[in-house]
Amino acid sequence: MNKSELIEKIAGDVGNITKKQAGDVLDAFIGAITESLKDGEKVSLVGFGTFELRQRAERVGRNPQTGAEIKIAATATPAFKAGKSFKEAVN
- How high does pLDDT run on average in the chain? 95
Burial 54-90 (b: 16+ CB within 10 A, else e): eeeeeeeeeeeeeeeeeeeeeeeeeeeeebeeeeeee
Q: Can you give the residue ranges of every domain in the chain?
A: 1-41, 53-85
State the average pLDDT over residues 51-77.
Answer: 95
pLDDT tens-digit profile of 8-43? 999 999 989 999 999 999 999 999 999 999 999 999
Indicate the pLDDT class of residue 87, thresholds 50, 70 and 90: very high
Residue 81's pLDDT is: 97
Q: In what order do the strands lie in the sheet with 43-45?
A: 43-45, 49-56, 75-82
Sequence-distant (6+) residues with CB within 8 A of 56 are 74, 75, 76, 77
Residue 84's pLDDT is: 94
Model confidence, pTM: 0.79
Residue 37's pLDDT is: 96
Which residues are registered as beta bridge partners of 71?
60
